[in-house]
Chain A
Amino acid sequence: MFERRLYHHVDWGLLAAVLALCAIGLSQVYSATGGWTPILETQVYGVLLGLLALAVCLGIDYRSLADKSHIIYIAVIALLIYVLFFGAVRGGSRRWIDLGVFNVQPSEFAKAALALVLAKFLGESRRGAVTHVDLLMVGGLTAVPLIIIARQPDLGTAATLIPVALAVAFVAGMPVRLLGVLAVAGLLAAPITWRFALQDYQKERISTFLDPAQDARGAGYQQIQARITVGSGGPWGKGFTEGTQGQLRFLPVAHNDFIFSVLAEEQGFAGVIVTLGLYLFVILRALESARLAKDQLGAYLVLGVLASFTFQVIYNITMSAGLAPVKGLTLPLMSYGGSSMIATLAGFGLILNVRMRRFTN
């Protein structure tokens, strides 16, 4: 199955950059949690399992996977529904399946599943630009997991599904006009969402973002602290494990949502540029894979996987600098979180898969 010559077409550069980001993430988790802790241990296991998942996703031809995409999609939907009723509750939301040893967060895998099913749907045996019926179908396929995840509630993860659909549809030839219409519709829907769909704490976060000083001790606190954390890092940072904001917990969940802030504090602007550069390299390199893909299926698959990744990276880093409302969105490859790590690395398995098999039939 894994032919010897394919080995030469693995994108080692991309893989190296991904691993470098994982390493940076591990070191920052180490710093933020104060040494070798169970949290770091879990993260190491996450990386190892993720690499295993990456290898598996690399090994199977993406076209065979796409053939099974409907099964994978339905399985994930089933898991999501299961979580909705029987999942483990933490922090007021039901997101996890408790497996005893560790918890699995199915919503993380929903992204890859959606990417697969959309790629299959739009990329297979189709010619010319997408039709309106296609787009409706795309919307429907996206809406099902999105609504279930939003009900957990986990609006952050739910929102990452939207870029998946948009990116795939965009490259698949969705009219630009329609994008504009969607944007306008989104703007019009905002007040309604505000009124009916958002929880109080979510509303608070958004209104706080618009004016952090109005609640400097409450929700605005994190945002202000994030800026202080980043800004106080300066050009060269305070040194590994020397950051005061993260170490003394002025910034909450430093190993998770705010891991990039801690990096910025301890490694300074230099560390930020290096890390941003790595992420940019990874994204551009993956986009290159989409361009090089042998077929539309491959290109769409890469795009779908990449879209949620890119969206999360950009959003989380913006939030880390206190420039976006605080949302429970982790930084892929760096933040603490086993499911996210495994799902992300598995996703990169798919991307590498597409590039590696660009010459095979």
Chain B
Amino acid sequence: MAAVTEDRRRITVRLTVLQVSVVVTFAALAISFWFLQIVQHAQYEEMAENNHQRTLALRAPRGVLFDRHGKVLVENRHSFSVSIVREHTKDLDRTIRLLAAVAGLDLTQVRQIVDRHRGEPTYRPIVVIEDASLAQVAAIVARRLDFELPDVVVEEVPMRQYPTDALAAHLFGYVGEANDAQLGDGVRTGAIVGQSGIERVYNKLLMGQDGARRVVVNSMGREIRTLEEVPPVEGRRVQLTIDYDLQKAAEDGFKHAGFNGSALVLDPRTGEVLSLVSLPAYDPNDFAAGIDRATWAALNSDALRPLQNRTIQGRYSPGSAFKIVIATAALEEGLVDPDFKVYCGGGASFFGRYFLCHLRGGHGVVDMRHAIEKSCNVYFYTLGNMLGVDRIHKWAEKLGLVGLTGIDLPNEQDSIVPSTEWKRQRTGERWYPGETISVSIGQGQVTVTPAAMAVMMATVANGGTRVTPHIIRAVDEGGGWKAATPPVVPERVAFRPETLSALHDGLWMVVNAAGTGGRARIPGRDVAGKTGTAQVISNQGRQAARGGERDLRDHGWFVFFAPKDDPQIAGVIFGEHNGHGYLGAPIAKHVIETYFAKREGRPLPTLAPPPVPPPVPEPDPDSAPIEAPAIARVAPGAAPRTIAPGTY
């Protein structure tokens, strides 16, 4: 029996040992859970939330742009973007490989995109495809449903849609992801902001406010339900001063004429820009979907510089079109009256140098009106010499040819008309009166933008009010259209009536009489205009550079307004390397015809479909560029130097 008792005792003791162990273990478990659930609760709760809650950005559509008659110019379309969210990705490389295969993408490119964003938080989507095709979306969604691509997200985002054919590309500009300098003030990382043109200048109005949606997702990344949604606020609707039909007419005109260049057409009474062209252009739609490197590199390395907005960034010598400034200055300064006559024998000597007129035989005796009509160099050499460079500079400034026009577009370049002060500051040298002679026919150091030339023409047209070109007409702040405040007029000079009539008559004669602008003539519309040639290289240089790669043909200007007695439209057509200023006149004509047809409700004019190759210019007295042969006429003792007179 002792053994039995012994057994009993042992069993009891050992059972107690087990009992105690179990109790201790359970106590330890309870303490562990207390730590996890009470002490560290907040931390794990946050982790659980990060697990299943995801905040999706809802991109705000940018404001729609309308033309002055309410036609939609730039809007937004629906697009799909495909992103990878790495939060629950087990094998990122597998996802990348599968996505590339399914969407037909280049594997290394996808890897590069992902690598670029590797440092970002894993919950932030990495956009792999912007503006995915419907086929891509369908393929990806099908795989997602099979749980093969749980970490790939397809989102619908609004995307900027610009007109086809790169219409008014430089005017609209383009959008792109905000760079570091643009962050802040409501712009967050990854936001789409305007990078150029109106998109950039009025970005604040157009951008709107991105919304956000907080959703619950399961472990497969599928959205289960929405917790909270802050809808995006669309950008402000903006009405531009642009007239779609005039914009198109100007661009069609260039295409028809077969050269690049720039145009700015405005209402001379207000400075409202009706059309702004710069060619060649880029397609802003390429940027809307995130421009690829190849396209960007091609745009940047293109010798024709399609990214440059020639209208406000290209600077060229104005040539004969500058004679309008000389005429205005001489008349307004009271140095001469319109009847002032000069004899042109084909050239004249100033300061020991012989300066040629472009007409070998000379224009004979010309007054102001005929000097403008015929673009007589000798007449304007004479006036320029009388004025001196500083008074030329002063009137050029009053007409808008000095400095910036103040147009509401980014990165405008200064226009330059020299003065003694300007030269002293620039080179430290004094001004030589002989230099004034070249300035008076728009050569030498005169370099101006097409926009400045348009302002000059508008100022001449409206009788002395230097308007500021502007593009915004009205903004819808949410309560209907509100007219935008027009920019202040920086300069207002009332020209004398005789100044105005002489200028207007002369410019009218350029188009409607024996001048060089005959191709802009529209019966009954009294178009006034002036041609000009911007030399790319001097005549001597041209000889030297013959056979080179560079396009050495001259640029041609045509500035205009209409109708002569009540100007409603003014502007500039600048033809790049088109050789002759009069080649821009048909473009102006087409724009003016379109303007009046539209105003009077008639069908808009069309350009003859087959663009005829530019015909050999008719025997126009001014047309033939004249080399400098007249050594015999050089005054004895004077250096036989001539100034290039290839301007008319």
Which of B13-21, B279-287, B539-547 touches A?
Answer: B13-21
B32 at interface (Cβ–Cβ under 8 A)?
yes
A234 at interface (Cβ–Cβ under 8 A)?
yes
A18 at interface (Cβ–Cβ under 8 A)?
no
| Cβ–Cβ contact B7 & A280, under 8 A | no
Which residue of chain B has its CB nearest to the CB of A171? Answer: B14
| Cβ–Cβ contact A127 & B26, under 8 A | no
- CB under 8 Å from chain A, chain B span 36-50: 36-38, 40-41, 43-45, 47-49
Which of B214-222, B301-309, B366-374, B466-474 touches A?
Answer: B214-222
Interface contact tally, CB-CB below 8 A: 135
Q: In whole angstroms, how far apart are the Cα atoms of A245 and B23 in the complex?
A: 30
| Cβ–Cβ contact A248 & B4, under 8 A | no
| Cβ–Cβ contact A272 & B11, under 8 A | no
A303 vs chain B, min Cβ distance (A): 8
Give every chain A residue within 8 A of B26 (Cβ-Cβ). 276, 279-280, 314
B23 vs chain A, min Cβ distance (A): 7
B55 at interface (Cβ–Cβ under 8 A)?
no
A202 at interface (Cβ–Cβ under 8 A)?
no
| Cβ–Cβ contact B37 & A264, under 8 A | yes
Q: Mark B1-17, 1 if CB is under 8 A from A, else 0.
A: 00110110011101100
A170 at interface (Cβ–Cβ under 8 A)?
yes
A305 at interface (Cβ–Cβ under 8 A)?
no
Q: In whole angstroms, how far apart are the Cα atoms of A138 and B30 in the complex?
A: 34
Give every chain A residue within 8 A of B12 (Cβ-Cβ). 291
Number of interface residues of B (CB under 8 A): 43
B415 vs chain A, min Cβ distance (A): 62
| Cβ–Cβ contact B29 & A234, under 8 A | no
- CB under 8 Å from chain A, chain B span 219-251: 219-220, 224
Contact among A128, A244, A249 with B3 in the assembled complex (CB-CB below 8 Å) = A128
A295 vs chain B, min Cβ distance (A): 10
B90 at interface (Cβ–Cβ under 8 A)?
yes
| Cβ–Cβ contact B33 & A264, under 8 A | yes
Give every chain A residue within 8 A of B3 (Cβ-Cβ). 127-128
Q: Given that A171-B18, A284-B19, A296-B11 are contacting pairs, would A245 and B29 also be in contact in the complex, using a CB cutoff of 8 Å?
A: no
Which residue of chain B has its CB nearest to the CB of A233? Answer: B37
Q: Given that A170-B14, A272-B33 are contacting pairs, would A250 and B22 also be in contact in the complex, using a CB cutoff of 8 Å?
A: no
Give every chain B residue within 8 A of A303 (Cβ-Cβ). 15, 18
B95 vs chain A, min Cβ distance (A): 11
Give every chain B residue within 8 A of A217 (Cβ-Cβ). 88-91
Which residue of chain B has its CB nearest to the CB of A293? Answer: B11
B351 at interface (Cβ–Cβ under 8 A)?
no
Q: Given that A231-B36, A250-B219, A290-B15 are contacting pairs, would A245 and B10 also be in contact in the complex, using a CB cutoff of 8 Å?
A: no
Give every chain A residue within 8 A of B25 (Cβ-Cβ). 314
- CB under 8 Å from chain B, chain A span 165-189: 167, 170-171, 173
Q: Which of B10, B36, B45, B220: most chain A CB closer than 10 A?
A: B36
Q: Mark A136-172, 1 if CB is under 8 A from B, else 0.
A: 0000000000000000000000000000000100110
Number of interface residues of A (CB under 8 A): 47
| Cβ–Cβ contact B10 & A129, under 8 A | yes
A246 vs chain B, min Cβ distance (A): 10
Give every chain A residue within 8 A of B7 (Cβ-Cβ). 127-128, 173, 296
Contact among A170, A250, A290, A314 with B52 in the assembled complex (CB-CB below 8 Å) = A250
| Cβ–Cβ contact B48 & A232, under 8 A | yes
Contact among B4, B10, B34, B91 with A173 in the assembled complex (CB-CB below 8 Å) = B10
Q: In whole angstroms, how far apart are the Cα atoms of A228 and B88 in the complex?
A: 14
B150 vs chain A, min Cβ distance (A): 11
- CB under 8 Å from chain B, chain A span 224-246: 225, 227-235, 244-245
Which of A40-48, A80-88, A316-324, A332-340 touches B?
Answer: A316-324
B94 vs chain A, min Cβ distance (A): 11
Q: Which of B34, B51, B91, B216: most chain A CB closer than 10 A?
A: B51
Give every chain B residue within 8 A of A52 (Cβ-Cβ). none
Give every chain B residue within 8 A of A232 (Cβ-Cβ). 41, 44-45, 47-49
A268 at interface (Cβ–Cβ under 8 A)?
yes
Which residue of chain B has its CB nearest to the CB of A229? Answer: B48
B263 vs chain A, min Cβ distance (A): 59
Give every chain A residue within 8 A of B22 (Cβ-Cβ). 280, 283-284, 287, 310
A75 at interface (Cβ–Cβ under 8 A)?
no
| Given A234-B41, A287-B15, 5 other A-B residues pairs in contact with their CB atoms under 8 A | A171-B15, A273-B30, A279-B26, A290-B15, A303-B18
Using CB atoms and an 8 Å cutoff, list the residues of chain B in contact with chain A. 3-4, 6-7, 10-12, 14-15, 18-19, 22-23, 25-26, 29-30, 32-34, 36-38, 40-41, 43-45, 47-49, 51-52, 88-91, 216-220, 224
Using CB atoms and an 8 Å cutoff, list the residues of chain A in contact with chain B. 127-129, 167, 170-171, 173, 217-218, 221, 225, 227-235, 244-245, 248-250, 264, 268-269, 272-273, 276, 279-280, 283-284, 287, 290-291, 296, 299, 303, 310, 314, 317-318, 321, 323
Q: List 20 A-B contacts (CB under 8 A).
A: A127-B4, A171-B14, A227-B44, A231-B41, A231-B45, A232-B47, A232-B48, A234-B37, A234-B41, A234-B45, A244-B216, A269-B34, A269-B37, A272-B33, A280-B26, A287-B15, A291-B12, A303-B15, A303-B18, A321-B33
Across the A-B interface, give the 4 residue pairs with the lowest CB-CB distance, nearest first: A231-B44, A232-B48, A248-B218, A269-B37
